[in-house]
Amino acid sequence: MSRSRLLTIIVGILLTLGLMIWLIDTLSRIYVSVAAASPQLANALLGLLLLLILALLGAIAYYLSLFLRPKQRRSVPKAPLEKTDAATANLQAIRQQADQIQDEITRQALLERTREIEENLSRRELRVVVFGTGSAGKTSIVNAILGRMVGQVGAPMGTTTLGETYQFRLKGLNREVQITDTPGILEAGMAGTERDRAARQLAAEADLLLFVLDNDLRQSEYDPLRTLVEIGKRSLILFNKTDLYPTDEQAAILERLQQRLRSLTQPDDVVAIAAHPQTVRLDTGELFQPEPNIVPLLRRMAAILRTEGEDLIADNILLQSQRLGAETRQLIDAQRLQQAEKIVDRYQWIGAGVVSATPPLVDLLATAAVNAQMVVELGQIYGCDINLERGKELAISLAKTLVSLGVVRGAIEIFSIALQTNIGTFLVGRAIQGATAAYLIRIAGKSFIEYFRRDQDWGDGGMSQVVQEQFRLNQRDEFVKGFVKEAIDRIGWLQ
């Protein structure tokens, strides 16, 4: 308790005691004088006065309790519980998946981003991001907003190429608002590309996006806006620099924008403003700077933040956790794919060695054991418990599919032509046999990778479609040439 508060309480108690002493003395004098004339009237008056004193004491005690009660801090609204619970569950799953990532730097970066999203679950700010081309007037809009808003404006939180962020309070809103001015998009050069990437990342993390235009919408601007809206970004489209256009042209551009964007947003969310009007020369020759015309933006933004703010925060946090989860799965899939391709590469040449020792025709059954063991190891990479017997069943089934689709015949033709022009005649037979076997095992391995990536499911098209797709991908000229060269390098080992 503060000293001033304690001193106020002590002074109040002393005054109350003094008033009580004076009141008792006065009442006793009145009672004595009345009792001399009428004892009954004196007793009735005394009872009434006692009731009044008790009521006064009760009122004093009540108001004293209110005064002594500690001040309650204004509660900060909480985001909808079901969305925050879903985000929490996503983050927990990401932590468990992160244990599978072998690269320590990547794993720690992923966990750090998980912690950042967790902190956002209890954050106080609403994030507004100003996004658009470098010439659209984004910084002027930020300056105009900060100059018009009610409440204290904070210093910039960052002054790097990622943009500048300010904090302010909006009247009638219990949360602080954070507004970020991003780098321009669609700029040329490597530096422009990097700024574009940074701006889009900031836009994807916004609770509310202010997409700035200075003319009718171009296709190059429509595409990033559509992408952001499709991932769930609540957006206001700002037609800035209206002071450069006659009134009738302003209205025509605004109407066209509302029509073109009707599938992405509602007409009220397309707002015409002039954040930094051009100076005007008066008749006296003096230059006059008009005030920014951003009132329509302030009204619409305030209405959205007040009515939708908590949902916007919850949606954004849930979206960030979902995107991070998808990124985690992509990292794990890429890691698994790299490991799986090493297994396929190893077994294709093991199979080549096995087949090169058999009679001239490619014997698919001779590679069944090789393929079966490869299937078992691929299953382990993808967390699937496949025994050797099941591996053989899958290998034989896929071998039959290779024959039925003509992949075997096609592979023999490819390597018959390619190898006859590259090596001596006495090695051609075994080379064709070994290289073809290696190639077919590669097709099988790639097909099984897709099978395990789909959680042991061949998909709607079945095994045949997967095999055909892998054969198509692996018969491109550049790949075949590289494969033939590697096969020739291993000819000595294939004999």
Contact 287, 280 (CB under 8 A): yes
Q: Which tokens in the block code for residue 7?
A: 């001193």
Contact 349, 491 (CB under 8 A): no
Give dist(CA 132, CA 183) in Å, integer: 8
Work out the angle at residue 467's Cα, subtended by the Cα atoms of residues 461 and 468, and round it to the nearest 5 degrees.
80
Supply the DSSP symbol for 164: E
Per DSSP, the three-state class of 282 is coil
Confidence (pLDDT) at 193: 86
Q: Which tokens in the block code for residue 95?
A: 């932590």
Q: How far is CA 290 from CA 248, 273, 279, 298, 444, in A?
A: 20, 13, 7, 18, 72
pLDDT at 46 over 60: yes
Q: Which of 35-39, 133-137, 190-194, 256-260 has the lowest mean pLDDT?
A: 35-39
User: Which pLDDT band holds residue 73 (cuts at 50, 70, 90)?
Assistant: very low
Confidence (pLDDT) at 153: 44
Helix axes 407-420, 462-473, angle to 10 degrees: 10
User: Which pLDDT band holds residue 373 (cuts at 50, 70, 90)?
Assistant: very high
Contact 264, 298 (CB under 8 A): no
Q: Which of 16-30, 251-265, 321-335, 383-397 has the lowest mean pLDDT?
A: 16-30
- Top-confidence residue, 14 or 386: 386
Q: Which tokens in the block code for residue 159?
A: 């002054």
Contact 175, 124 (CB under 8 A): yes
DSSP H helical segments within 246-294, as ranges? 247-260
- Top-confidence residue, 483 or 151: 483
Give dist(CA 51, CA 190) in Å, integer: 87
Per DSSP, the three-state class of 91 is helix
Please write the tens of the pLDDT for every residue from 441-450.
899 999 999 9
Give dist(CA 108, CA 43) in Å, integer: 85
Per DSSP, the three-state class of 166 is strand
Percent of the chain with pLDDT over 70: 79
User: Which pLDDT band holds residue 5 (cuts at 50, 70, 90)?
Assistant: low
Query: Is the whole-model pTM more than 0.85?
Result: no
Q: Which tokens in the block code for residue 190?
A: 């490597």
Contact 465, 405 (CB under 8 A): no
| The listed CATH number (3.40.50.300, 3.90.1200.10, 3.40.50.10300, 3.40.47.10) that belongs to domain 81-327 | 3.40.50.300
pLDDT at 462 over 70: yes
Give dist(CA 144, CA 291) in Å, integer: 9
Q: Which tokens in the block code for residue 189?
A: 């050069």
Percent of the chain with pLDDT over 90: 28
Q: Which tokens in the block code for residue 259?
A: 């029509």
